[in-house]
Amino acid sequence: MASRADNIASNLSLANFSKATELKNRIWFTIGALIVFRFLSFVPLPGVNPEILGTLYDQTRGGILDLFNTFSGGSLERMSLIALGVMPYITASIVIQLAAALHPALIALKKEGEAGRKKLNQYTRYGAVFLCAIQGWFLATGLESYGAQSGLQAVVDPGIMFRVVAVINLIGGTMFLLWLGEQITSRGIGNGVSLIIMAGIVAQFPTFITNLFEGGRSGSISPIVIIGFIIMIVGLVLTICFVERAQRRLLIQYPKRASQNGMMQADRSHLPLKLNTAGVIPPIFASSLLLLPLTISQFAGSSVATDSTFYGVIQGMNQYLQHGAPLYMLLYAAGIIFFCFFYTAVVFNPEETSENLKKNGGFIPGIRPGKRTADYLDYVLTRITVIGAIYLTVVCVLPEYMIAQTGIPLFLGGTSLLIVVNVTVDTISQIQSHLLAHQYGDLIKKAKLKGRLR
């Protein structure tokens, strides 16, 4: 049986893919949903002049807006219906998960299983709507005065009606993206929200590459810097692929049981602990927390008088916390490390795992079942999480530092690479799982057919 499974896994190819009708339908559905997402990113908000907005954005390029624009697939630059992307939902998820780990009522709700998970997801959506309303209001207010110093007006008819309509449209755009992500997860392939974020980042890659080589052609960027930047990207991609597949496998042994030939045999298996258990969540969470106040302050700063004290405070905040600034990178690294440990504690519970092993009669050799096993699992998980946090921090902060030092006029940070590589690997793994299930399904059908013929 093991050799047959190995043969099936080794024979997964395009020939097998052509026979998997359900998998092809899922992939086509996913592609169609992502096309809808890209189409919406070109639909501007009502009452906004896209041409003037593009001119103003080029004048203010290089700040925190570039980071937000990257995650939204260029939607912020065009001020489309989905300009806020899924970041309000990500930020609301952070708040709900923190509360679910601290608040007794939410802790009890979390233990209720599927019903509790649905209730927490509902709270997350309410929080996303609330954050969309706040961010959308500041975005609309900032747009009305955006470019006042240049004598350009991005909004055709400023006023309270424009703000209300803009907020409603931005909330609707974000909620539609969340619904689209759910449809991809259930009817397509891969994680819907992650694929939407990845699609937005990949859509910006041609612009990034064009700016890089255009800078080399014009002489603003040294060829040595371009070569070094390419080498760094290739090295980061290889590092991400290697570390994301790395595991610490703990030996699990079960009591001796009678086998088919009457011999007493002890079963053994392994408990795999990923080196980076948290995945891409820490950099996304850290980016979201930095994006929320900076986006509000950047647009709010353009709507107040330039000689006011509040304007000076906002300008100072944007200067010290802008993309590539030392304080920004320090807070970004601290946020990544914090969410590495926090999210690992959320997704992996040593006490629960130890209890499940004890119920099934499994134990780690040399470690007493129960609390000692839980403590040992926590000890091992903490050690590998330290390595995972260092890896994530280096991968995400190193490109930020290089871009800040070299002045490359594009945003292609480690967070973008991490998201793209991780989501791609996870999606390919799901495709392989569907192909493997299809192979086993064919074997079962053939076995049933032979049994009937006999």
Q: What is the 3-state secondary structure (H, E, C) of the chain?
A: CHHHHHHHHHCCCHHHHHHCHHHHHHHHHHHHHHHHHHHHCCCECCCECHHHHHHHHHHCCCCHHHHHHHHCCCHHHHCECCCCCCHHHHHHHHHHHHHHHHCHHHHHHHCCCHHHHHHHHHHHHHHHHHHHHHHHHHHHHHHHHCCHHHCCCCECCCCHHHHHHHHHHHHHHHHHHHHHHHHHHHHCCCCHHHHHHHHHHHHHHHHHHHHHHHHHHHCCCCHHHHHHHHHHHHHHHHHHHHHHCCEEEEEEEEEEEECCCCCEEEEEEEEEEECCCCCCHHHHHHHHHHHHHHHHHHHHHCCCCCCCHHHHHHHHHHHHCCCCCHHHHHHHHHHHHHHHHHHHHHHCCHHHHHHHHHHCCCECCCCCCCHHHHHHHHHHHHHHHHHHHHHHHHHHHHHHHHHHHHCCCCCCCHHHHHHHHHHHHHHHHHHHHHHHHHHHHHHHHHHHHHHHHC
12 located within any domain: no
323 located within any domain: yes
2 located within any domain: no
Q: CATH number of the domain that 327 lies in? A: 1.10.3370.10
Asked if 434 and 26 touch (Cβ cutoff 8 Å), the reply is yes
The C-alpha angle with vertex 124 and arms to 395 and 73, in degrees rounded to 5, equals 45
13 located within any domain: no
Give per-residue pLDDT as tens, 116-126.
Answer: 888 888 889 99
CA distance 76 to 79: 5
448 located within any domain: yes
8 located within any domain: no
Give per-residue pLDDT as tens, 243-287.
Answer: 888 888 888 887 766 555 555 555 778 888 888 888 888 887 787
336 located within any domain: yes
What's the confidence (pLDDT) of residue 175? 93
Which residue positions in the chain have pLDDT lower than 70? 1-18, 54-77, 146-152, 256-266, 291-324, 406-413, 438-454
The residues, ordered by sequence, that sit 6+ positions from 337 with a Cβ below 8 Å of its Cβ are 282, 389, 393
Sign of CA dihedral 59, 65, 66, 72: negative
| Domain count of the fold of the chain | 1
Domain that holds residue 303: 21-453
